[in-house]
Structure 1
C-alpha cells in the first residue's frame, strides 16, 4: 500500500465489494443490505489494511461532530475540577467522543457566551459543571440541545443533574463518629451560599436523632483553614464549657484548621478528640498529621455519568429527562478519628 491513510475505496477494492457496501458495514447499517459473507470479507479487508473511518467525515454524514462541550465556572482554581473533567473525558473517549472545555472564570461569571460559542462549534451535547453544589438558573442555550448539569441543580427542576448525595454523606459521617462511641458531636463551618452545607447538616442531625442523641450544635463559619481554626479554638477553650467528643467539619480545609487548633490547645487527635472532614481533597486530607477521615466527593463519577447520560441520549435519539442522579460520597477512614476517650 502507498504510505498514506487507507480509504474506504481501498477496502472495497481489497474485498471485491462496492464503496457503498463498505460504508454500510463501517457505519453499522449492513444487516439486510449486505450479505453476511460480504460483511465478513469487508471487515477482514479493513483489518488487513488497518482502515478506520475518519471521525470528522463520519460525523458530517450523520450531522454529528462527536464532541461534548463542558462549561465550568472556575475549573482553573478548583482542586476537584480535574477529577470531574477526567471522568467526563474518559467516558466520552470510550464512546468515540471528544470533550471541549470552556472555563467561565468564576461562580459569578455569565456562562451564556461560552455555551453559545460551543453550540456554534457544533458540539453534540453540553455539560454545565460547577465547583460547588449550587442551584442555578439554567441559561437558555443549554436547553436547545442535549445537556446535563454536574454538581449543580436547575432552579426550575426541568433539567437532568448529577450531584453528590450530601444528606447521605452527612448521615454516614456522623454514624462513623457515633460508632466510635462519640456522643457530643459538634458541626463547624460552611458558608450559606453553598447547597452542600444544609444537606450535610440534615444528614448530621438525622444520624443523631436515629441514635437517640440530642440535636448537635452547629457552629457557623466559612469553608477555609482559618475559619476552622477560629471555630475550633473557641470550642476547645476551657472557659466555654465541656469540650465536644468530636467535631464534624464542613470541609477538609475546615478540618485542617481544627487540627491546628487542637494542637495549639494541647489536645491529641484522635486520643482526646476526633476530627471528621469532608471532600477528600487531594494533597490535603491525605497529607495532614494525622491524615483526615473524610467523605470523598464523587467528582470523577459526576463527570463520567453526565457524559454517559448525554451520549446514551444521542445514540438512542431519546430525551435526557429531568431526573436528578445522586452519587454516593464514600467514607475514607484515616487517623483523625478514633474511639471516644473514657472519663
Structure 2
C-alpha cells in the first residue's frame, strides 16, 4: 500500500492550530494574522511530517496554475536556445512556477497555434523566445495574456522584450581590436535576415569613428563556416600592405571559416591576423585552435530576466510594461586575437 500523503489537516492537528492558520503559513500570508510562536510550531510540524502544499490544489484556490508557457521557434536545433530555456525554467522554479515548453519547429512556423494551446491549458503567463534576434508580429493570444518576449521584439512596440545589446557588443568587440593596435579591420559575414547584424555593424562603425578612423569595410557573406572561409580567402589574397590586420566576424561559425582560410593562406593567427567572433557558441568558440575571442550572447540571462519580469507581474509586484531591456554581451578573450603584427 502506498504511504498516504500528509495533509494540511495533519499539520494542524500536530501543531495544535487551525487549518486556516496552516494555510496562511504555507502561503506566506501569516504575518499579522498568526503569532510568531504558532508559525514556528506549524513549520516544525510540517517539516516533521514532510508536508508540502499540493501545487494543483493551491493553484485552484488562487485560480492560478503556477505554470508559465514558453513558445520557441526552434529549440531542438538551436545551439543557444537551451541556455535561454534553462535560464527561464530555473528562475521560474525558484519562485514556485513550472515551465511548459512548446517548440514551433522553425523561424517560419506560425506560433499562434502553440500560444492558443498553452492558453487553453491555463498557463498563467507566456514567454515567446526566438533563436535569433528578430522583429516579429506578435500573435493575438500573447496580447490577451501576461507575456514577455525573449530575444525578439514586437514590430508594434507594445510588448516587453528582453534582448542582447548587440550594438554595444559590436562596439566593444571593435574596441578590443583597436586596443591591440589594429587599424585595418574588416567586418565579414551575416545577412539582413537577422536584426543582430545591422546592430553589430553600427557598433563596429561607431568604435572606428570614435578612434578617428574612416568607416570600416563590410563584406556580406552569410552565417556559416564555408561563408567565412570564402570571404576571408579573398581578403587574404590581397597584397600585404592592404591586407586586413583583423577580421570582425558576424558569428563564431564565420570566424571558424576565417581561421581555416588563414591556415590555408599560410597566415598565423594571431601573429599575422587577428580574428574576432561573436556568440560564444559552445563546443565551437572554445574548441578551435586557437580558441576564438568572441562576444558571449547572454541567452541564459535573457531567459532568466524574462521569467522574473513575467512572474513579478503575475504576483502583483510590478507591471510588465512595454519597454525593451538590453543585456550586455560580455567579451571573452581567447587566443585568436593579439597585437597588431
State the TM-score, normalizing by the size of structure 2.
0.97
- Paired position in structure 1 for 2:109: 109
- Paired position in structure 1 for 2:17: 17
Aligned-residue Cα RMSD (Å) equals 1.4
- Paired position in structure 2 for 1:161: 161
Q: Does the 8 Å CA contact 2:133/2:196 hold for their aligned counterparts? A: yes
Once the two structures are TM-superposed, the CA of residue 5 in structure 1 deviates from its matched residue by 1.7
1:145-294 alignment, distance < 5 Å:
145-238=145-238, 242-294=242-294
- Paired position in structure 1 for 2:138: 138
- Asked if 1:44 corresponds to 2:31, the answer is no
Once the two structures are TM-superposed, the CA of residue 76 in structure 1 deviates from its matched residue by 0.8
Q: Distance in 1 between matches of 2:275 and 2:40?
A: 63
What secondary structure sits across from 1:214 in the alignment? coil
Once the two structures are TM-superposed, the CA of residue 317 in structure 1 deviates from its matched residue by 5.9
**Structure 1 unaligned spans of 5+:** none
Q: Does the 8 Å CA contact 2:205/2:216 hold for their aligned counterparts? A: yes
Q: Does the 8 Å CA contact 1:71/1:114 hold for their aligned counterparts? A: yes
What secondary structure sits across from 2:152 in the alignment? strand
Q: Does the 8 Å CA contact 2:312/2:319 hold for their aligned counterparts? A: no
Once the two structures are TM-superposed, the CA of residue 28 in structure 1 deviates from its matched residue by 2.3
**Structure 2 unaligned spans of 5+:** none
Q: Distance in 1 between matches of 2:211 and 2:76?
A: 42
1:63-74 alignment, distance < 5 Å:
63-74=63-74
Q: Does the 8 Å CA contact 1:174/1:204 hold for their aligned counterparts? A: yes
Q: Distance in 1 between matches of 2:5 and 2:167?
A: 54
State the TM-score, normalizing by the size of structure 1.
0.96
Q: Distance in 1 between matches of 2:336 and 2:105?
A: 35
| CA deviation string 1:155-175 (max 9, x = no partner) | 011100000000000000000
Structure 1 segments (4+ residues) deviating >6 Å: none
- Paired position in structure 2 for 1:79: 79
Q: Distance in 2 between matches of 1:306 and 1:242?
A: 46
- Asked if 1:338 corresponds to 2:327, the answer is no
